Amino acid sequence: MSAKSELSKIRNIGITAHIDAGKTTTTERILYYTGVSHKIGEVHEGNTTTDYMAQERERGITITSAAVTCVWNDHRINIIDTPGHIDFNIEVNRSLRVLDGAVFIIEGVAGVQPQSETNWRLADRYKVPRIIFINKLDRTGADFYRAFDTLKEKLDIVAIPLQLPIGAEDQFLGVVDLVEMKAIVWEGGELGAKFHDEEIPADLKEKAAEARQNLLDTALAVDDKAMEEYFENGDVSVETLKRCIKKGAISGEFRPVLCGTAFKNKGVQPLLDAIIDYLPAPDDVEGIRCAPPEGEEENENAQPIIPVDPDGKFAGLAFKIINDKYGTLTFVRVYRGVLKTGDTVLNTTKGHKERIGRIYQMHADKREELTEVHAGDIAAFVGLKDSQTGDTLADPADPVVLERMTFPVPVIDISVEPKTKDAVEKMTLALQKLAGEDPSLQLKTDQETGQTILSGMGELHLDIIIDRLRREYGVDANVGAPQVAYRETITKPHTETYTHKKQSGGSGQFAEVKIAFEPLERNEDIQFENKVVGGTVPKEYIPAVEKGIRVQSSTGVLAGFQTVDFKFTLLDGKYHDVDSSALAFEIAAKACFREGMKQAGPVILEPIMDVEVTTPNDHVGDVVGDINRRRGMIQSQETSGSTVMVRAHVPLKEMFGYISHLRSMTKGRASFTMQFHHYDPVPRNVAEEIMAQSK
């Protein structure tokens, strides 16, 4: 078989959804029906294949994305089961970056939920083709048509059903297949392995005919030949229709929708067929864009695209790191060429060479050794010394750099220190390994107290890290209360001149700088411009000025928080032939920052969270009143049956311990999700409180 036809039989897909919509359960069914596992694992029993970490099994949630491989109808499907909890959104981000297609699972009762929206936008950013599976149609209150309507409302997409449900809730029996116009009915509770085709039930015939016409009108519009066939014959062959659905799914013209209930083992086999029929093989998509040269802005049209090519020189993207008892595993998606064990590749992101030790095909936490990997494969490499998430590995003869990944901003800090003095080094090493695995976890040392500060995406995220520190690395730590990751910025321009002079026998120190500070829009970070003319500050000292400001910006002038979103311009300065040095200019720049920022209208910024509370009707007043008391701004309220979804923007500071308060207020009937939205200046009274605490 040629490498090209080999490629057409591979599918690299992700399964993604809001927390509790049934991703892991669906993955379990797929592994069972494809013969990979001989027993179906259940999330509530803690024995699923992809949730293999102790923390996942105890909590019944997915924390890390797990890779598994199965075979269906002579096609190899590489699946990544991703987390639904917002604290682990980094896992979805990096998985979607390297996948060719995705299955979005939508809950049959609630429809599209906040995390599904977030993941959908991520998939849009990476242009990932998707199919949608409306799950849990056996649940009380499940309604396929209502859940389907939320796709248009929340995601603003053209969705077309390929199936309609037969029955609902505990009477859900099967689906009407609109492509082949037949009913698929599952038999009894025999793990869903047995099903048969039959005539479409009489009460659904009219609805099915209407839905089929809608499918034809939408799908055939993407293909002129198919349109001709339709006008000549009044219908099209199943092959033609499938070709059009695949074309539309890949281009994003529309999104195909299937349905079922994974927990009750109904609808999974047709979903597997749909993955093969409608999601792309690695060579059906355009490939991956190269990264712009260092320091240049992303420009879609300027960067060349690397197509998936089995015959080219090797190129792959490292998208995940795991440290386990065998050492460091680096997960790599191969885009081009072949790589064998023992080969040497260039890490083009960092500019150093790496030798490939062993290569594994991963099956969650189990592994199968390979001697080589090809374009389109996802595999784990052992023995890479210094390659991190987002790095490109390539043949030294063609050192391409593939598109970089963007990572979310950590919004919550905790201090950690080991319980014993002897464990300091052990803890530092362990935290460095954990931060190497997870780019949304950041480590820093508090300059004043010497404490190690961990920054993460939420309380659960940091909880899991501390738990892993204890279990996997044997380090018991004292953990400080969670703190909000505040920032500082300025609100008005100011120009400051500072002269640094030091004379103490022998050669002295001298440097003078004149720097203009000005505010930038949110998320524009720190920008530097050099406007020195006539050599008043020699060229070799300019980097020292920039370094001084950037280093000092990590300690703001109000309460010691990192200063962001400002521009500083070096306008002028003075130097001395003997007494000036890079160090003198760095010291002058730091002092200029400390003095200048005080005059530039400094303010403290706080993270504002997008909070969505789902509550029964009779508790809406309490929930809304409570959000207002927490300085929250209500964005919207939507009623769905007997529940109301309240969406609000609330400062993170006010959300600590919210879950227990919400449960007691609503007798345990409400739930909420929260994710970072933006930074905003804090009110004056809160700012004064923060500054008083920092002294």
Taking only the tens place, the pLDDT of each residue in 494-517 is: 999 999 998 766 678 899 999 999
Q: Which residues contact 598 (CB under 8 A, 6 or more apart)?
A: 557
Indicate whether 150 and 262 sit together in one domain.
yes
**Is pLDDT above 70 for 478?**
yes
- The gap from C-alpha 647 to its chain's centroid, in whole angstroms, comes to 22
pLDDT tens readout for residues 274-306? 999 999 988 887 777 777 666 555 555 567 787
Which of 484, 569, 475 shows the shortest CA–CA distance to 520? 569
Q: Both tokens of residue 194? A: 């047995």
349 is in an annotated binding site: no
Task: Give the bridge partners for 674, in sequence order.
Answer: 611
391-401, pLDDT tens digit by residue?
888 888 888 88
**Averaged confidence pLDDT in the chain:** 81
Q: Using CA atoms, how far apart are residues 287 and 452, in angstroms rounded to an integer?
A: 41
Task: Quote the CA–CA distance of 547 and 583 in Å, as a whole number.
Answer: 10
* Lookup: tokens for 407: 């990572």
Helix, strand, coil percent content, the chain, rounded in steps of 5: 30, 30, 35
Domain harbouring 635, CATH code: 3.30.70.240
Are 226 and 367 in the same domain?
no
Task: For residues 145 and 52, state if they share a domain.
Answer: yes
Angle at 74 between CA 73 and CA 77, to 5 degrees: 85
* 197 lies in the same domain as 86: yes
The domain tally of the chain equals 5
Distance of CA 25 to the CA centre of its chain: 21
Phi, psi of 180 (to 5 degrees): -105, 0
Residues 525 and 546 in one domain: yes
Nearest alpha carbon to residue 409 among 562, 251, 293, 283: 562
The CA distances from residue 492 to 564, 567, 600, in Å, are 14, 11, 5
Does 47 show up as a binding residue in the annotation?
A: no
Q: Are 253 and 220 in contact (CB under 8 A)?
A: no
Output phi, psi for 596, to 5 deg: -70, -40
Least confident of 80-89, 209-218, 373-382, 588-597: 80-89
Does the annotation list 265 as a binding residue? no
Residue whose tokens read 């797929």: 30
19 is an annotated ligand-binding site residue: yes
pLDDT at 213: 92
**Residue length, the chain?**
695
Whether residue 357 is annotated as binding a ligand: the answer is: no
Q: How far apart are CA 635 and CA 654, in angstroms?
A: 17
Cβ neighbours for 84, distance < 8 A, ≥ 6 positions apart: 16, 17, 18, 19, 20, 21, 23, 61, 62, 115
Q: Are residues 208 and 91 in the same domain?
A: yes
Question: 390 and 495: one domain?
Answer: no
Residues 15, 71 within the same domain:
yes
**CA 478 vs CA 124, 433, 435, 467, 540: distances in Å:** 41, 19, 19, 12, 45
Q: Is 248 annotated as a binding residue?
A: no
End-to-end CA distance of the chain, in Å?
Answer: 71
In tens, the pLDDT along 12-70 reads 888 887 666 666 677 778 777 777 655 554 544 444 444 334 443 443 443 444 577 88
| Cα–Cα nearest to 81, from 71, 72, 91, 70 | 91
The answer to whether 374 is annotated as binding is no
Please report which confidence band the pLDDT of residue 449 belongs to, taking 50, 70 and 90 as the band edges: low
The reply, when asked if residue 135 is annotated as ligand binding, is yes
Of the candidates 284, 312, 340, which is a domain's last residue? Answer: 284
Q: Which residue spans within 641-685 are E strands per DSSP? A: 643-651, 671-681
- The reply to whether 21 sits in an annotated binding site is yes
Q: What is the pLDDT of residue 58?
A: 44
- Cα 594–598–601 angle (5° rounding)? 140
CATH of the domain at 464: 3.30.70.870
Q: What mean pLDDT comes out for the span 517-525?
A: 88
Residue 24 assigned to a binding site: yes
Express each pLDDT in 167-222 by its tens digit. 888 888 889 999 999 998 887 655 656 788 889 888 889 999 999 999 999 999 88
As given in the structure block, the two tokens for residue 204 are: 């659904």
Question: Is the model's pTM score more than 0.75?
Answer: no
Q: What is the DSSP string of 399-418?
A: ---BPPP--PPP-EEEEEEE
Judge whether 555 is annotated as a binding position. Answer: no
- Whether the pLDDT of residue 1 is over 50: the answer is no
Are residues 520 and 629 located together in one domain of the fold? no
In a domain, 406, yes or no: no
Residue 308 falls inside a structural domain: yes
Residue 2 in this model has a pLDDT that exceeds 50: no
pLDDT at 20: 65
Which tokens hold the place of 511?
């440097």
pLDDT band at 161 (very low <50, low <70, confident <90, very high): very high
| Gap between the Cα atoms of 327 and 339, Å rounded | 20
- Reported confidence tier of residue 550, pLDDT bands at 50, 70, 90: very high
Residue 326: how many other CB atoms lie within 10 Å: 11
Query: What pLDDT, on a 0 to 100 scale, did the predictor assign at position 519?
Result: 93
| Pairwise CA distance, residues 91 & 56, whole Å | 14
**295 located within any domain:** yes
Question: Both tokens of residue 192?
Answer: 């869903």
Q: How many CB atoms lie within 10 A of CB 409?
A: 16
Give pLDDT, residue 87. Answer: 47
Residue among 214, 280, 255 at smallest CA distance from 120: 255
138 annotated to a ligand binding site: yes
How many CB atoms are closer than 10 A to CB 273?
16
Taking a C-beta distance cutoff of 8 angstroms, is the pair 283, 8 a contact?
A: yes
Reply yes or no on whether the pLDDT at 90 is more than 70.
no
Q: Which of 259, 284, 309 is the last residue of a domain?
A: 284
Angle, helices 582-598 vs 542-552, to 10°: value is 40
What is the DSSP code string of 436-458?
Answer: HH-TT-EEEE-TTT--EEEEESS
Q: Confirm whether 1 is domain-assigned.
A: no
| Inside any domain, residue 183 | yes
- CATH code assigned at 54: 3.40.50.300
For β-strands 130-135 and 101-107, DSSP reports them as parallel
Q: Is residue 339 part of a domain?
A: yes
Highest mean pLDDT among 85-94, 220-229, 367-376: 220-229
Contact 283, 308 (CB under 8 A): yes
| 343 falls within a domain | yes
d(CA 100, CA 128): 6
The response to whether 129 counts as a known ligand-binding position is no
Least confident of 267-281, 552-566, 663-677: 663-677
pLDDT at 60: 42
Strands 101-107 and 10-17, by their bridges, are: parallel
Q: Which has the higher per-residue pLDDT, 316 or 302? A: 316
Is there a single domain that holds both residue 366 and residue 245?
no
Paired with 509 in beta bridges are 502
Query: Are 138 and 254 contained in the same domain?
Result: yes
∠ CA 514-519-523, rounded to 5°: 130
Alpha helices in 474-581 (DSSP H): 542-552
Distance CA 128, CA 446 (A): 41
CATH value at residue 548: 3.30.230.10
What is the per-residue pLDDT for 479? Answer: 79
Strands 305-306 and 288-289: what pairing?
antiparallel
SS3 labels along 622-639? HHHHHHHHCCCEEEEEEE
Annotated ligand binding at 82? The verdict is: yes
Q: Does the annotation flag 17 for ligand binding?
A: yes
Q: How confident is the model at residue 332 (pLDDT cuts 50, 70, 90)?
A: confident
Tell me if 401 is assigned to some domain.
no
Q: Are residues 100 and 247 in the same domain?
A: yes
pLDDT score recorded for residue 295? 54
CATH of the domain at 337: 2.40.30.10
pLDDT of residue 63: 40
Cα separation, 74 vs 71, in Å, equals 6
For residue 160, what are the domain limits? 7-284
State the Cα–Cα distance between residues 560 and 171, nearest whole angstrom. 61
Report the range of poorest mean pLDDT among 151-160, 472-481, 614-623: 472-481
* Contact between residue 53 and residue 438 where contact means Cβ atoms under 8 Å apart: no
pLDDT of residue 55: 43
The CA–CA distances, whole Å, from 30 to 41, 88, 187, 266, 272 equal 11, 23, 18, 11, 7
For residue 23, say whether it is annotated as part of any ligand binding site.
Answer: yes
pLDDT given for residue 363 in this prediction: 67
Q: Is 311 annotated as a binding residue?
A: no
Percentage of the chain surpassing pLDDT 70? 85
d(CA 537, CA 584): 12
